[in-house]
Structure 1
Amino acid sequence: MFSPLGAISRKENIFTLVPREGLCLFQNCKGLKTLWTRPALQYYYTFLQPIHSKAITNMAPNRGLVHPKEYDIKDSNVELIGSDIDHQVKYNSALTEPAWNDGKVGIEPGLFIWRIEQFEVIPWPREKYGQFCDGDSFIVLFSEPIGSNDGTEKLVHDIFFWLGKHTSQDEAGTAAYKTVELDEFLKGSATQHREIQEAPSDDFLALFPRISIRSGGVESGFRHVEEEEEPKQTLTLLRVFKNPAAGANGVVVHEVEPTWTSLDDTDVFVLDVGDKIWVWQGKDCSPMEKAKAAQIVHDMTVAKHPEVEVIAQTESRSRRIVDFLGGDDETPREGFHCRKPFTPRTTNKASKKLFRLSDASGQLSFGLVKEAERILHDDLESDDVFLLDDGGRAIWVWQGSGSSAAEKKSWLKAAQAYVRHLQAESGNEDAYLTPVAKVVEGGESRAFTRALAA
């Protein structure tokens, strides 16, 4: 019997605390100290610290150079979001978080990005927007104004917590907790999204003209990462390709290693050499990819005015691109195949399923209420929380305005456990890549509305 409501194990803590004027001085085993509010620290000790205990146990003898156990997305420990801290406590905690209290968050429209660094939320430089590190966790907030019934404008918010392929458990756990805290700061009105490096959603990719995933990550209290001086890059190679995730419609622009081994016959590549921009069209690329590349080149030439040349792979002069990228006489002119930065997620065509998460009986229960080609908004009831399986394309959680505190705090735990159930039931190893997002009644996103209408 599938049950998403299991208990979370606890282990002995290994840290010391020093009370200090209503706050707690958090000190890890290496002496790193940070100030936490008592509710946040209570949350940490109850739910996140057991993960760290496991990471510390696995440390090598040379403590200064160890790395923590990487966060395993398949383990779904991000279900720790929304545990035993009530909304008011989280909101009070959010009021003390400098990242949210900059006079802009929740007030001004736009894009805001933070990286988790040593359990803290640090603003990401705007010149690096679109650039992520595979060893880190990030929080991304997008706020946009929409019209309301009274003729005024209000902001709607989407919060994405992005987990790098090699992010650590401490970073993933902190990003998860801080995402809930940010939502509380925004009065619980935001749509929350879990984003995985290997399978980003169209909504996430639409925020950036192009995206770049760099290797490495920030130095944390549990690991030592040598800062490497970034080499001077004279060539920039952008790969333009259709997002391979099932159900995705977007065309992605992704910075890749400027070498001929990055080329692929099925995609378009934009090579910026400084004074000239080359567009290399693979022989099997699509019209959508060509159009997106043209848009990117136009944007690149606004600030500077380099020469632009478009070359089809089938032309003999396309050899010049291969030469620029380090090819030699032995390098082929076609037959280029390079694995895409994102993992294709295979799904079987299936009907939609609607589940109810409710404690109306006195105990929290989770069960199927409808399976059909279409799920209607009328199928949702304000008193409970519902999970919509959009035919394997996405997992949506709808939080009714009258749902109980227990139902609200269990939504992600139930969603993550349901994803694990899908993986075990179908044998589909890609199930963990399924996008997961939560909306609240009255603040449904356009993407959720489309999922219902489809």
Structure 2
Amino acid sequence: MPPHEGLVHPQEYDWRDSNIELINSDIDHKVKFQSAASEPAWNNGTVGNQAGLFVWRIDDFEVVPWPREKTGSFHEGDSYIVLHSQQVKGDAEMHLIHDIFFWLGRATTQDEAGTAAYKTVELDEFLHGSATQHRELQTSPSDAFSALFPRLKILRGGVRSGFTHVETNDEPQRTDNLLRVFKHPSPTAGRDAILVHEVEPTWHSLDEEDVFILDKGDKIFVWQGRKCSPMEKLKAAQVVQDLTIAKHVNVEVLSQEEARSKVIVDCLGGQSLDFGTRFECARPISTASERNVKKLFRLSDTGGHLAFNLVKQGNGIGK
């Protein structure tokens, strides 16, 4: 008897027998919406119904509301989801449009970033697929993201990850905190767009083109680089004002051109440096020329075959 006789051969796989055809169907979206609706972070009757800015931080795979008073502040060790809902006038009546940004800090973990991306898609489903999704990196914030906040502040540290249990803020309490205040590098971000980055409290972090705020706990120093702009000085003063609301401490503002500014350099470990030392340190953000050029491609089979073509490139790409 031939070896193949009497054997039961498995039926050849046919994708049409699977449920792949349900992907992106009404049933698929209903199932995903039910899952999204179970997320307490946005199932509160406000999200999707009212205009506003909503921020959540990823904490141990959970979507945790970010305090209103901390809006605009992000930790480089974390991932966040930001929803901007605004009311616009349509053909017949007013309606909401939504933009969802998932922001990834420079030191965020892979599982935090993955959770933020997954939950962003889930939030879009909750909004019935009407949102525009944006991926934001700490080192290259988009103009649209920066425009959401009067001041974008990046702080060190973060929460631990659920997989790796990495504690980015598990370190001895620092006495000194050094903030770097500088103008957003993008020419389209707006004249008043200012970034505030917490940097390593050392003289190596100083740069003559920016303003630095040294918070020593019992006193605040402001170091104005000789090439900083008037706008950066003004915005730094606003940051200092916010800091002094929580605690009443003395503030001393010093220009790099003043001999006494050497006091700040000394506090940052630069006792051996001369007064005329030049300070230069790259900003913790890419310049406009260093960013990748945006490109819009179109995938279509209208001509009878699948074609993938470049439609437009540059920062002028709209929705």
Q: TM-score range by the shorter chain?
A: 0.7 to 0.9
Task: State the shift of 1:263 in Å.
Answer: 1.2
Q: 2:133 & 2:47 partners in 1: Cα distance?
A: 16
**Percent of aligned positions that are identical:** 57
- Check conservation: 2:158, 2:167, Cα contact below 8 A: no
Task: State the shift of 1:241 in Å.
Answer: 1.2
Q: 2:187 & 2:290 partners in 1: Cα distance?
A: 7
Q: 1:210 & 1:89 partners in 2: Cα distance?
A: 37
Aligned CA distance change for structure 1 residues 118 and 226 (closer, same or farther; 3 Å)? closer
Aligned CA distance change for structure 1 residues 98 and 243 (closer, same or farther; 3 Å)? same
> In structure 2, what is the equivalent of residue 8 of structure 1?
none
Q: Cα deviations across residues 18-77 of structure 1 (Å, max 9, x unaligned)?
A: xxxxxxxxxxxxxxxxxxxxxxxxxxxx9xxxxxxxxxxxxxxxxxxxxxxxxxxxxxxx
- Unaligned 5+ segments in structure 1 are 1-45, 47-82, 370-387, 399-438, 440-454
Greater RCO, CA 8 A, separation 6+ = 1
Aligned CA distance change for structure 1 residues 146 and 298 (closer, same or farther; 3 Å)? farther
Task: State the shift of 1:207 in Å.
Answer: 3.5
2:201 to 238, 254, 258: 258
Task: State the shift of 1:233 in Å.
Answer: 4.2
Q: Cα deviations across residues 323-344 of structure 1 (Å, max 9, x unaligned)?
A: 3333314465531122211123
- Check conservation: 1:311, 1:318, Cα contact below 8 A: yes
Q: 1:170 & 1:84 partners in 2: Cα distance?
A: 26
Aligned CA distance change for structure 1 residues 306 and 173 (closer, same or farther; 3 Å)? closer
SS in 2 for 1:346: helix
Q: How many residues align?
A: 293
Task: State the shift of 1:101 in Å.
Answer: 0.6
Q: 1:302 & 1:224 partners in 2: Cα distance?
A: 34
Q: 1:215 & 1:168 partners in 2: Cα distance?
A: 12
Bigger radius of gyration, 1 or 2?
2
Structure with the higher fraction of residues in helix conformation: 1
Matched, 1:105 2:105: no
* AA aligned opposite 1:311: L
Matches within 5 A, 1:89-238: 89-126=31-68, 128-146=70-88, 154-208=95-149, 209-215=151-157, 217-221=159-163, 223-226=164-167, 229=170, 231-238=172-179
2:237 to 276, 291, 294: 294
> In structure 2, what is the equivalent of residue 327 of structure 1?
270
2:29 to 74, 80, 87: 87
Aligned CA distance change for structure 1 residues 142 and 353 (closer, same or farther; 3 Å)? closer
Q: What is the TM-score normalised by the length of structure 1?
A: 0.55
Task: State the shift of 1:127 in Å.
Answer: 5.4
* AA aligned opposite 1:184: E
- Check conservation: 2:105, 2:137, Cα contact below 8 A: yes
Aligned CA distance change for structure 1 residues 320 and 160 (closer, same or farther; 3 Å)? same
Task: State the shift of 1:94 in Å.
Answer: 1.3
- Check conservation: 2:57, 2:65, Cα contact below 8 A: yes
Q: 1:96 & 1:267 partners in 2: Cα distance?
A: 46
Task: State the shift of 1:262 in Å.
Answer: 1.8
- Check conservation: 1:237, 1:256, Cα contact below 8 A: yes
Task: State the shift of 1:125 in Å.
Answer: 4.4
Matches within 5 A, 1:405-416: none
SS in 2 for 1:211: strand
Aligned CA distance change for structure 1 residues 236 and 107 (closer, same or farther; 3 Å)? farther
Q: What is the TM-score normalised by the length of structure 2?
A: 0.74
Q: Which moved more, 1:84-93 or 1:198-207?
A: 84-93
